[in-house]
Amino acid sequence: MLVATLVLAVMLLIPAPARAAHTYSESDLVRFQNRIVDYRNRINPQFEKKIRSRTKLIIVHTSELGLKSTLRVVSRGKCFENGRTTPGGHANYVIARNGTVYRILDKKYRADHAGLSMWNNESNVSDISVGIEFVGYHYAPLTDSQYRSAERLLFILKNFYNLQDKDILTHSQIAYGKPNPWFMKNHRGRKRCAKNFDRTRAGLGPSWPYDPDVRAGRLMQDPMLAQVFYSGPGTVVYTGKKIPEELESNIISQKNSAWSIAGEDYEAPTTIYVLPGGKTLAGDSVALKLGWDHLPVGTKVLLNQETVQKVSEQAKLIIKTISDQMTAWSHAGLAYHSPSTIYFLPSGRVLPGSAISDWDDLPMGTRLVVGYKGPFTLTKNNTAYGIAGSKFKASGTIYHVPGQGPLPGNRITDFNDLPVGTGIYLPIAGYSH
């Protein structure tokens, strides 16, 4: 009854033209709010709750993690390798990739989500905004389910606080950084967070056609973000402009630098660079061990990793494992749903990527190989040699015994012990294994 009363009050506050732009009924909004998962009791007790005195903006983020890690970080806090921690409270809401919404903090409380930030000469944007985290990466697509939930949540929040569509911004738009090797002065572009957010799919109209702090000279422009969000003075932007395909990736190229991908996190110890060939470097060691100008094209950038050792171990392995930090997207990128990406689930099931609806649906402990064909089934007449030829003992030939996990050929001691029904997976030419 309380939820219904709140929704009805919000509906009555909405001007008639705004209501006409949406098709939500009161019952639809009540059902939506009743399905929000209450996560408020998980908040770190060290987090100090403060009621915002005013709410002028709603800021959307991408978590750069999977769901479990996202919920832990935003509620309990971040833990850094040097021992520093934060007390949590880093979002008011989280939207999972299946559309489920989690309430981390009541919307009235200040969430510590924006960090060093400015918008239209207002600093400390966390003080004046609601923070929403999308589970996902800023260089990977968000899901239809996330956008459907976001549209309803934003509709309710926007009208509750009497905000306009232009008051909904991304973290990448409002964060700013101090001088660094790329910028001589304070500058936009400290975060790439949610630069992939599509306003139209979230049911939103125009945003700002320009960056007010850049225009006023308070901050230097970030060329990449300006290309994504703004076309120039007087232009109405309904959604992020089409990002060049090269800049949608976390792979370093001639145009896609460490800064373009990671923003201020480019030299963080939790940002790991996986060079072609598998060598790994933490962000805080690149300058000393290699130099930023010498990062080779094809280097993969991974954010929010625990240690370089864990990533290094995975980079060397053909059979990779999904963990708290290393999702299927971290390992396979867009190939996560390719039929040539093979998943070995803890339950014993084996699925091709084409059977996976979303990379965050896979349980931790799932193992995978990328760029494989099969299974070719072992029978009495179809031996391992008959299937794989001279490479039947190679590390790149993968065997899956029913009820057991995958094994590379060089780990099998006696091929005569392999039971009939064993699946054999062979690498596809042209893939790096």
Residues 6+ apart with CB under 8 A from 323: 310, 364, 365
DSSP 8-state secondary structure symbol assigned to residue 114 = -
DSSP assignment letter at 393: T
For 44-101, write each residue's pLDDT tens digit. Answer: 999 999 999 999 999 999 999 999 999 999 999 877 666 677 888 999 999 999 999 9
* More confident of the two residues 18 and 68: 68
Cα–Cα separations (whole angstroms), residue 179 to 255, 264, 291, 308: 21, 10, 19, 27
Enter the DSSP assignment of 39: -
pLDDT in the model for residue 80: 66
Query: What is the pLDDT at residue 370?
Result: 96
The answer to whether the bond into 209 is cis (omega within 30° of 0) is: no
Structure-token pair, residue 408: 């590379």
Domains and CATH numbers, the chain: 35-229 (3.40.80.10), 317-433 (no CATH)
Contact 154, 18 (CB under 8 A): no
Q: What is the mean pLDDT of residues 19-38?
A: 83
Residues 190, 109, 177: CA angle, nearest 5 degrees: 10
Region of 220 (left: φ > 0; alpha: ψ -120 to 50; beta: rest) is: beta
- Candidates 276, 282, 285, 243; CA nearest to 260 is 243
Residue 253 CA: distances (Å) to CA of 140, 257, 259, 275, 394:
17, 7, 12, 12, 32
Query: What sign results for the dihedral spanned by CA atoms 347, 349, 354, 357?
Result: negative
pLDDT for res 254: 87
Average pLDDT value for residue range 349-366: 96
**Distance in angstroms (rounded) separating the CA atoms of residues 314 and 416:** 30
Phi, psi of 152 (to 5 degrees): -70, -45
pLDDT band at residue 180 under the 50/70/90 scheme? confident
